[in-house]
Amino acid sequence: MYDKNKIVAGLVIFIAIVTFPFWYNLGNASSAPEPKLSEKAKVAKECVMPKESIKSEHMQVLDLWRDTVVRDANRIYKSGSGKTFNMSLSTGEESCMGCHESKAEFCDKCHNYASVNPYCWDCHIAPKEKPKENK
Amino acid sequence: MLELALKGDKKYWGWIIALLAFIGVGFAVYLKQLDFGLGITGMSRDVSWGFYIAQFTFLVGVAAGGVMVVLPKYLHDYKAFGKITILGEFLAIAAVTMCLLFIIADLGQPMRAFNVILYPTPGSVLFWDMIVLNGYLFLNIVIGWNVLEAERNNIHYPKWVKPLIFTSIVWAPAIHTVTAFLYCGLPGRGFWLTAILAPRFLASAFAAGPALLILLCLIIRKVTKFDPGKEQIQSLAKIVTYAIILNMFFFLCEVFVVFYSRIPSHMSHLQYLFFGLHGHGALVPWMWTAMIFMGTSIVLLVIPATRKHEGVLAFSCVILFIGAWIDKGLGMISGGFVPNPLHHVTEYVPTIPEILITLGIYAIGLLVLTILFKVAVNVKEEVGGLKDSCESC
Amino acid sequence: MENSRRSFLKVAGITALGVGTKPVLNVFASSGGHVEEPKPEVSKNEKALTAKKWGMVIDTRKFHSAEDLEPIIDACHKIHNIPELPEPRHKIMWLWEDEYKHVFTHREHELVNDRIKHLPFLVLCNHCEKPACVRACPTKATFKRDDGIVLMDFHRCIGCRFCMAACPYGSRSFNFRDPRPFIKEENKEFPTRMKGVVEKCNFCAERLAVGKLPACVEASNGAITVGDLDDPESEVRELLRTNYTIRRKPDLGAGPSVYYIV
């Protein structure tokens, strides 16, 4: 085999770079955060879908909603249990953020952990964060 | 075969490094554009397409021009061109690559470019432009590579390539026709709203593309052991001559219709380009330069004595290419936007970042072209001894 | 970094599309499924203002100077979070004013009467019957709704600006940079835009949906009227019947839905 040493050295460097994220974060693992529900959301008890479905499918729901609202002009959503919602991320009392009042506590907690940065907030205006109460 | 591009002398590598430097600068400025938005360009609400789209339009022409060596070889069995068809095909690859990059550079949200495929819209000409450009790129890569590889191995190229070659001959005018349709189907843009636009585009393409090929052939002859051939260059020169005359003729048809009918919404754009409008005339010297260059090249190309003199021919090709570039790469797009639909005059001048990104993309195109031509020429040099037997393919 | 993540999400989203959206689509499907739990439904607001074909009549006789138009333009630009950008070439306008000779380029003549010559006219998207912008758009990001309103889907726009070249009325603006820092007062009830997308008048679709008239109509003291062009009994039809009206560039055949009483 020609250039055996070069190839082996190259392979070692390659593997080191590829596995960088794993050994860099070694020992730093933190548990997945839970989004914190606002008082309003706790009182409301139910959302547009069961909690588990929301957890796994909220991106698709939002994607579908935006098409429904913008393109079909249907803005009212009646859930399985008969409750109605305003199909909007950030406008009005019955929108997502109307109930989940804090982007930092509700959205960002998981998004930051999962290192995703959806561009919702480039356009949609997030509700003002209330100053944190000292407990 | 690609390994042939890895062996070169100092000059070759110097050239490659210079190109990479331009690419690096262009890419850095592009990152800035991604971050800030297209506001770093000179484009405006009124002139909403600028340098990028103009270069794209011009280069679609250069790409389509490659067919002018392929067509005589395969449809008319003009054997002399067998030697240089590969150059035409590889030039097309480089040009289409640049076209696609210019479109990406021009998008406000390039991350969403795939929406064109996710939500296909056959009613939009841009959708078809995406299809024809990518198709043409694919065709030329497959054809060029297979034919060259066969030549290297001294065998006939595979049978299935032939239908692809015929497809590409039809496909080449299609890419430029579709590109013209981007503009000429728009209501309220009098400059482009003319049925002669696609023929004009094609004529200028079949002049500028082969003119560039002539220059490339002359360079190749100088820097390599491969000679594209005197006859080949002269035949190309004749194609260029007829094409540039047609281009001029089509343009004059347009000038007649516009100025004899005197419909302001059609006339004001040509007025702006050639005489200035309401005190704005940034492009006036450029447009006249283009006319003088193209006109002079016609004279020099038509006269056999000057055409046959390769030095003069090279000069003619240079000024023709510059003239056609000004005509399409500067005037054609911003001329259509000035004055705007409300007859206001907002002028467009590209900014430095915009020009740097443009140069970066041109450098990528030249890099692709250099590598492909290097491979092609090396293969030609390898089989040099068998030069004549190649004509049987 | 942010951008590469975005593109990754995009790709991930595309891959997930086949599998991921299935359950959601099931949720939306109207037929079949369990008996106990009724399926979720989507609908329009009961209060929503609707029409078969929306149209607008602007009575220019009620305007005398640019000051009369200012509050109307302000109302529109304020509620839609239109930025005020420092560079004139980056300007964004949904509703603006211009002179007769620029607005009605095909009708302009030197000897037009003094009132018209100096009167500022309101200019906005014409919500054409056969919109050239919709034809041009390669992603259906701009589209015509069944009720005639031509809308933008800012989520989908790739910023190619083909629609801007296609529009014969110069009604479209492009976000050459992030508009956020240049919005004086943000209206939380309407999103802003991001850099790189095209925008224009949306006939206040978000207001019609909750039973409110467009902002310009509200601010115009009766000079602007909107209604159903397909309903002979509507107020706009009454205005069109009893007044001579003109449209911008009707010869192009786009069929503008904005009429001017002059």
B322 token code pair: 């510059």
Q: Do C228 and C158 lie in a common domain?
A: yes
Partner B, chain C 120-139, Cβ-Cβ below 8 Å: 123, 132, 135-139
Q: Is residue C230 part of a domain?
A: yes
Which residue in B42, B115, B189 is closest to C158 by CB distance? B115
Distances in Å between the alpha carbon of C75 and those of A34, B27, C69, C240, C250? 42, 42, 10, 26, 28
Residues 6+ apart with CB under 8 A from A39: none
- Domains in chain B, CATH or no CATH each: 2-379 (1.20.1630.10)
Q: Of C232, C233, C219, C50, whose CA–CA distance to C149 is shortest?
A: C50
Model confidence at C4, pLDDT cuts 50, 70, 90, reads low
pLDDT of A133? 52
Q: Do C197 and C97 lie in a common domain?
A: yes
Q: Is residue C193 part of a domain?
A: yes
Residue in chain A closest to C42 (alpha carbons) equals: A77
Partner C, chain A 97-116, Cβ-Cβ below 8 Å: 115-116
Helix and strand numbers (H, E) in chain C are 9, 11
Q: Of B322, B381, B351, whose CA–CA distance to B7 is shortest?
A: B381
Q: Do C59 and C182 lie in a common domain?
A: yes
Helix and strand numbers (H, E) in chain B are 15, 0
- Asked if residue B230 has pLDDT above 80, the reply is yes
Q: Do C137 and C22 lie in a common domain?
A: no
Model confidence at C152, pLDDT cuts 50, 70, 90, reads very high
CA distance C101 to C116: 9
Q: Do C81 and C32 lie in a common domain?
A: no
Q: Do C33 and C74 lie in a common domain?
A: no
Q: Is residue C47 part of a domain?
A: no
Model confidence at A1, pLDDT cuts 50, 70, 90, reads low
Domain that holds residue C22: 1-42
Chain C residues near residue A67 by CB distance under 8 angstroms: 153
Q: Is residue C151 part of a domain?
A: yes
Q: For C216-233, write each residue's pLDDT tens digit.
A: 999 999 999 999 999 999
Q: CA quadruple C114, C115, C120, C126: dihedral positive or negative?
A: negative
Are C160 and B126 an interchain contact pair (Cβ–Cβ within 8 Å)?
Answer: yes
pLDDT of C36? 55
Q: For B357-377, write each residue's pLDDT tens digit.
A: 999 999 999 999 999 999 999
Q: For A42-83, write each residue's pLDDT tens digit.
A: 888 888 888 888 888 999 999 999 999 999 888 889 888 888
> C177 in contact with B at a CB cutoff of 8 Å?
yes
Chain A residues near residue C48 by CB distance under 8 angstroms: 73, 75
Q: Of B53, B143, B66, B64, whose CA–CA distance to B99 is shortest?
A: B53
State the nearest Cα–Cα gap between B207 and chain C, in angstroms. 28
Which residue in C27, C143, C189 is closest to A92 by CB distance? C189
CA distance C7 to B254: 45
Alpha carbon B130 to chain centroid, angstroms: 16
Residue in chain C closest to B116 (alpha carbons) equals: C139
- Asked if residue B95 has pLDDT above 60, the reply is yes
> C45 in contact with A at a CB cutoff of 8 Å?
yes
What pairs with residue B36 in β-bridges? Answer: none
Are C44 and A75 an interchain contact pair (Cβ–Cβ within 8 Å)?
Answer: yes
Q: Is residue C49 part of a domain?
A: no
CB half-sphere exposure, B93, CA atoms < 13 A: 20
| Contact (CB, 8 A) for A75 and C45 | yes
A32 token code pair: 């997945």
Are C42 and A92 an interchain contact pair (Cβ–Cβ within 8 Å)?
Answer: no
- Asked if residue C1 has pLDDT above 50, the reply is no
Q: Is residue C85 part of a domain?
A: yes
Residue in chain A closest to C44 (alpha carbons) equals: A74
Q: Is residue C48 part of a domain?
A: no
Q: Do C59 and C37 lie in a common domain?
A: no
Chain C residues near residue A120 by CB distance under 8 angstroms: none
> C161 in contact with B at a CB cutoff of 8 Å?
yes
> C37 in contact with A at a CB cutoff of 8 Å?
yes
Q: Do C160 and C204 lie in a common domain?
A: yes
Beta strands in B65-185 (DSSP E): none
Q: Do C111 and C235 lie in a common domain?
A: yes
The greatest distance separating any two alpha carbons of chain C, rounded to the nearest whole angstrom, comes to 75
pLDDT of A25? 76
Q: For C191-221, write each residue's pLDDT tens digit.
A: 999 999 999 999 999 999 999 999 999 999 9
Q: CA quadruple B238, B239, B242, B248: dihedral positive or negative?
A: negative
A33 token code pair: 């955060």
- Cα R_g (chain A), whole angstroms: 22
Q: For B148-181, write each residue's pLDDT tens digit.
A: 999 999 899 999 999 999 999 999 999 999 999 9
Number of domains in chain C: 2
State the nearest Cα–Cα gap between C50 and chain B, in angstroms. 28
Which residue in C138, C158, C165 is closest to B186 by CB distance? C165
Among B1-10, B88-97, B161-170, the least confident range: B1-10
Q: Do C74 and C105 lie in a common domain?
A: yes
The DSSP output letter for B329 is I
At C149, the amino acid letter reads I
Q: Is residue C145 part of a domain?
A: yes
Which residue in C103, C195, C196 is closest to B342 by CB distance? C103
State the nearest Cα–Cα gap between C122 and chain B, in angstroms. 13
At A100, the amino acid letter reads H
- Asked if residue C17 has pLDDT above 60, the reply is no
pLDDT of C20? 44
Q: Do C209 and C115 lie in a common domain?
A: yes
Mean pLDDT value of segment C135-152: 96
State the nearest Cα–Cα gap between B269 and chain C, in angstroms. 15
B72 token code pair: 């005589």
Q: At which residue do the structure tokens 């023709």 appear?
A: B320
A82 token code pair: 């008969």
State the nearest Cα–Cα gap between C143 and chain B, in angstroms. 11
At C202, the amino acid letter reads N
**Domain of residue C181, CATH code:** 3.30.70.20
Residue in chain A closest to C205 (alpha carbons) equals: A73
Q: For A90-111, write each residue's pLDDT tens digit.
A: 888 788 898 898 888 889 988 9
Q: Do C19 and C81 lie in a common domain?
A: no
Tell which of C96, C139, C248 to mutate to test the B interface (max B CBs under 10 Å). C139
Residue in chain B closest to C172 (alpha carbons) equals: B45
> A82 in contact with C at a CB cutoff of 8 Å?
yes
SS3 B26: helix
Q: For C19-63, write each residue's pLDDT tens digit.
A: 444 444 444 544 444 445 678 888 888 889 999 999 999 999 999
Inter-helix orientation angle B85-106/B197-223, to 10°: 120
Chain B residues near residue C132 by CB distance under 8 angstroms: 186-188
Are A79 and C40 an interchain contact pair (Cβ–Cβ within 8 Å)?
Answer: yes
Preceding peptide of B339 cis, ω within 30°: yes
